[in-house]
Chains A and B, each alone.
Chain A
Amino acid sequence: MRDVVDAEALKLRTLLLPRLALLVAALGAGLIGFAAASIATDAGETVTPADLAAAPAKTLWFLAVIVAVLATAGEFQHRTIRTTLLHAPHRGRVLTAKAIVTTAYGALITLAGTASAVVVGMVSLRAEGLPVGSVAADFWAVAAGSVAIGGLWALLAAGLGTLARNSTVAVATVLLWWLVLEGLLPVVTGNPDARRWLPGGAADALLLGRADLLEPWAGGLLFAGYATVVTLVGAVLFARRDPA
């Protein structure tokens, strides 16, 4: 099992996109941290480290989704899944290894980006001589929650990639769900609180307390449930269907 995990990690390391995603995460989140500090400063508000940690979260999660989709759907698109399975014919082990590696990479991307946003944001506030809110318990909760959700978004996306077998379809599905359907469903169903039960709403509950969303722990559990279901459905179909 360990060899299969090693091989999956090596697959990501020998391609440019995962490294590029990590770089974009660090640079982009730094920019977001800087922007969050400037905007709040102009508005005369105090920015807390927790605000800075939450600011780049969705961007980082999206980068985690892209890398995870590459790791699963990419194998079907480039038909590398054939050689992968020739060397590791136990399909359950291959998928488990992919789940472990993509979750870890999603968490890593989110961790790097969050750290960058917080450091850049705080440095720019200090440089302006402005007060920086204290590093309190809520900072650690938001930072840890964001990193955990980054890992889980990657897990969910890896499962979706296994189902869709096509990177474009998998990424488009995530975007469409995130940007359109989650906004539409509460309206269509006539239930304005519906979003708190949907994946995006559940994930956002971990960022900063919002009255219309679940408690952070409940949102985290619900999102982990979504990620698990998608992963399991992907695994069942992967075991049944012929690869490529």
Chain B
Amino acid sequence: MGREEGHHTVARIRFDRLTKRYGAVTAVHDFTATLEPGTITGFLGANGAGKSTTIRILLGLTRPTSGTATINGRPYAALAQPARVIGAMTDPDVFHPRRKGRDALRVLGRVSGIPDRRIDEVLDLVGLVESARRRVGGYSMGMRQRLGLAAALLGDPETVVLDEPANGLDPAGVLWLRTLLRGLADEGRTVLVSSHLLAELARTVDDVIVIDHGRLVVHGPMSDLLGTYRSSTLEDLFLDVTSKGSPS
């Protein structure tokens, strides 16, 4: 952190020529991008475009074929207490159905020495205080998303990475999520949020990364991109820059 590289400081999240192949299929191809602190970056792409693979590599869950993904200049596995640096949610089905919601967070927090007080704080933040003593198996999809968000925020991290966080949330939940993300970015945190639901992201993000067939298509502030591509909405922009828009 704070290390100078040219005239820029080292960014919180950096992908450098990242490539991932599964046999003959190239899921991510030569992907390079840098995320600046204090912004919400929307990570857009169709299902199967390579969003989740890119995020999983960043989080050390999948090994890249070549290239690097770093947080504050270090790969995920080199972080001593990652939960205090980067909070992540990959998908909502990562909790044991027979464990109580609060216990699921206690188990995770134990590794990073997170006190029970902080667990109650994040449960309050995501609105799960009343359900926290019930087993996760009885939760709705939206509740599991909220528990996943609570897990991501446990260590009060500077960087938050969320893969499809709006899935399963009702309209009120989506509004709540937007407010939460904006609050996190306003506190100076770096937020990367992926989605294939464009309307939900349009009103939340500052920057946009579009990925298509594993390749970076565009990356920049949403307002600039809308102007450049003369698109009126994020949806138009997305369709303009990806192959989905071209008649086949």
Contacts and interface: CB of A to CB of B under 8 A. Distances in A.
Interface of A: 3-4, 6-7, 10-11, 14-17, 74, 78-80, 82-90, 242-243
B149 to A, nearest CB: 12
A88 B111 CA distance: 7
A78 B77 contact: no
The list of the 8 closest CB pairs from A to B, nearest first, reads: A14-B103, A7-B110, A87-B111, A89-B77, A7-B111, A83-B94, A88-B111, A82-B94
B100 interface: yes
Given A10-B106, A74-B96, A3 B61 contact: no
B98 interface: yes
A3 B83 contact: no
Given A82-B90, A87-B83, A3 B110 contact: yes
B97 A78 contact: yes
Nearest to A87: B111
Contacts of A17: 98
A4 B111 contact: yes
A86 B106 contact: no
Interface of B: 56, 59-63, 76-77, 79, 82-83, 88, 90-91, 93-100, 103-104, 106-113, 151
A82 B82 CA distance: 13
Contacts of B91: 79, 82
Interface of A is mostly: helix
Given A79-B94, A86-B83, 6 more contacts: A10-B106, A10-B110, A11-B107, A14-B100, A14-B106, A89-B82
9 contacts: A3-B113, A6-B110, A10-B103, A16-B98, A82-B94, A89-B60, A89-B79, A90-B77, A242-B62
Nearest to A84: B108
B93 A79 contact: yes
A11 B99 CA distance: 9
B108 A15 contact: no
Contacts of A242: 56, 61-63
